[in-house]
Amino acid sequence: MRPYTEPSIDVAAVTAIDVHVHVHASIHGSKIGDETMKQMAEYFRADDVRPNNTRDIAGYYRERNMAAVVFGVDVAGDAGYEDGASNEEIAELAAENSDVLIPFASIDPARGAEGVAMARRLIVDHGVKGFKFHPNTQGFYPNDRDAYPLYEVIAEHGRIALFHSGHTGVGANTRGGGGIRLKYSNPIYVDDVAVDFPDMPIILAHPSFPWQDEALSVALHKPTVHIDLSGWSPKYFPPQLIQHLNTLLRHKMLFGSDYPVITPDRWMRDFDKLEIRPEVKPLIFKDNAARLFGLTAEA
């Protein structure tokens, strides 16, 4: 194991920080299932969704003069996810590409004490900056007390908890939704987490359809809660999201694409068509994220 490297991103030099980028493949050749990727590509109407590894992603974002937060999704017992890159691989390759990548990890709360030990090791030995939770695929409510030991480790080390919220493309239009239950991703359950861990930074991922108002309320009420704008083309953003993006929550909104199913190019092209105040755009694209992640340029 090589020593981890702190991100060395020159915030003044990059045009944006994409806070939501999925790693779907390992440099050793394994990747999440082809059927899963095909279903996601169809749902997001993407022509070519390739499961890229962390090195590929670094090159992709470096070409665009952007930085990115990278992670996988851990679903215990699901080989379709376990065949992707490990948390350790993602962290080590992010360290090799610390000029453009910030490593997050993902641990299914169902792993219990083993997962808690993993989280501590990933922080101490590999320097991960946050943890991605996907309540739908992992099958838990964010305020389930069984997940709290994981949050305790994250909060203790000042790391970030990122929660998928709202509708999901995973399992969409498949028989029984692929067994995915939407109820787990109502962002109101994250409100309890923000109360019980008041100093832990939290990101609600995605416009939270059909619970957009709940997400806005939680972010307005809890100072540690942010919203990333990934997973939807901006042309589908509801009016109340755009209103709060321009006003009360302009310092708590973050650019995210959901690459590879939505590329940053596509996202920014559609975002440019919205009526966004000129002074807000730099906040969304990188300043808010730079401040949240403790980067050193003019955040």
29 is in which domain, residue-wise? 16-292
Q: What is the CATH number of the domain that holds 43?
A: 3.20.20.140
- Beta strand residue intervals within the chain, DSSP E: 16-22, 66-71, 101-105, 130-133, 160-164, 202-205, 225-228, 253-254
Tell me the pLDDT of the chain (299 aa) as tens digits.
Answer: 555 667 889 999 999 999 999 999 899 875 555 566 566 556 556 666 666 899 999 999 999 999 999 999 999 977 566 667 999 999 999 999 999 999 999 999 999 999 999 999 999 999 999 999 999 999 999 999 999 999 999 999 999 999 999 999 888 888 999 999 999 999 999 999 999 999 999 999 999 999 999 999 999 999 999 999 999 999 999 999 999 999 999 999 999 999 999 999 999 999 999 999 999 999 999 999 999 999 964 43
Q: State how far the Cα of 164 lies from the Cα of 205, in Å rounded to an integer.
A: 5
DSSP 8-54: ---TTT-SEEEEEEE--B-TTS-BS-HHHHHHHHHHTT-S------H
> What is the identity of the amino acid at 124?
V
Q: Which two three-digit tokens encode residue 60?
A: 């992709």
Domains held by the chain: number: 1
In a domain, 132, yes or no: yes
Please return the burial class of 270, using the count of CB atoms within 10 Å of its CB with bins 0-12, 13-18 and 19+. middle
In a domain, 11, yes or no: no
Q: What is the pLDDT of residues 109-148, one digit of tens each?
A: 999 999 999 999 999 999 999 999 999 999 999 999 999 9
d(Cα 121, Cα 179) in Å, to the nearest integer?
A: 32
The Cα–Cα gap between 136 and 171 comes to: 10
Which two tokens mark 67? 């930085």
Written as six digits, the tokens of 5 are 């490297």
100 domain residue, yes or no: yes
Edge-first strand listing for the sheet containing 160-164: 16-22, 66-71, 101-105, 130-133, 160-164, 202-205, 225-228, 253-254
Q: Is the dihedral of CA 34, 206, 57, 6 positive or negative?
A: negative
Q: Please give the Cα distance from 141 to 22 (Å, whole number).
A: 22
Residue 92, in any domain of the structure = yes
Is 50 part of a structural domain of the chain? yes
AA letter at 154 = I
Please indicate, yes or no, if residue 216 is contained in any of the structural domains. yes
Is 82 among the domain residues? yes
Assess if residue 111 is contained within a domain.
Answer: yes
CA distance 277 to 33: 41
